[in-house]
Amino acid sequence: MSKTIITCAITGAVHTPTMSEALPVTPNDIADQAIAAAEAGAAIIHLHARHPETGAPSVDPAHFDLFLPRIRQATDAVINISTGGNPVMTVAERIPAAQRFSPEMCSLNMGSMNFSIHPLADRYDTWKEDWEEGYIRSMEGNIFRNTFADIRMVAEDLGSDPHNVKFEHECYDVGHLYNLKFCLDQGYFKAPIFVQFVMGILGGISAEIDNLMFLKKTADKLFGDAYQWSAIGAGAQQMRIAATAAMMGGHVRVGLEDSLFIAKGEKAKSNAEQVEKIAQILRLQGHEIATPDEARKILGLKGADRVAI
């Protein structure tokens, strides 16, 4: 049985500072939590940037530069830079950091959708930062745009020379797997592809075990043995989906980007706490956890010596 890769998504672009004290939004906190997550067993660190003063989601390469070198120096974890940026931007606006730092991995979102967490806005009366409430509420009317032309553009730009980035293909619904199959048949990507089943986002498929099984069955049919996969249960279902995915032979993703919780009704204290918990579950299940170098082999990555960080 192949080893299980833990990805940790440190901060994302969706949760806001009011929602959790633990969410890292300053460059130092993002770096500290990423390093601690790697030490706890995460082989891949999925990263977004934040504005250093306000904590607002940012795609500015200068903001990534405030924490990437520290993470690279302190760990041998695979650095994965989001091209999801935040859901209100175009893909062209979301890729300059990946172009500049040429990481081993980047996310690539495989379809346009109504990605939203606007119902959460009604849970808060006061907000720490001015931008938060408007940002969350604006998602109700937003389309997270990832057209075929957008996907082709990212594949051509980042997936080939000189970058040769491996993509974490974010699939939020079954149709996104068919989009990925179309793109694969067009020759945009090289096997093995790495598919991330993202479950539990409003606008996408819900985080239920039946759905995970259907996603896996569909991916098996479309990609045969030319793919590796991982699953995210956004929100309260994070650990349940990760534990089930591992039992089904998949890899797992945790992190405060996807869920602010460690248990029902209990907020996580850090990203590392979530990594420690899933690592413990994996060991109890009899799985071995992949080191960063083992993850590089499993996914066919270009190597840490070929990044520009």
Interface residue with Zn ion among 7, 16, 33, 82 (CB under 5 A) is: 82
Q: How far is the CB of 9 from ligand KMH (least distance, A)?
A: 6
Interface with ligand KMH, residue 98, by CB under 6 A:
no
Q: How far is the CB of 107 from ligand KMH (least distance, A)?
A: 3
Interface residue with ligand KMH among 58, 75, 82, 228 (CB under 6 A) is: 82
Q: How far is the CB of 186 from ligand KMH (least distance, A)?
A: 21
Binding piece for Zn ion, criterion CB under 5 A, among 79-87, 132-140, 146-154, 223-231: 79-87
201 binds, among Zn ion, ligand KMH, none (CB under 5 to 8 A by kind): ligand KMH
Total of residues contacting ligand KMH (CB under 6 A)? 14
Q: How far is the CB of 247 from ligand KMH (least distance, A)?
A: 22
Interface residue with ligand KMH among 32, 104, 132, 170 (CB under 6 A) is: 170
Q: How far is the CB of 83 from Zn ion (least distance, A)?
A: 9
Site string for ligand KMH, 108-147 (x = CB under 6 A): -x--------------------------------------
Interface with ligand KMH, residue 198, by CB under 6 A:
yes
Q: How far apart are CA 219 and CA 282, in angstroms?
A: 23
How do strand 78-81 and strand 6-9 relate by DSSP bridges?
unpaired
Encoding tokens for residue 145?
């745009």
- Under the rule (CB under 5 A), what is the footprint of Zn ion? 82, 84
- Under the rule (CB under 6 A), what is the footprint of ligand KMH? 9, 12, 14, 82-84, 107, 109, 170, 198, 201, 234, 257-258
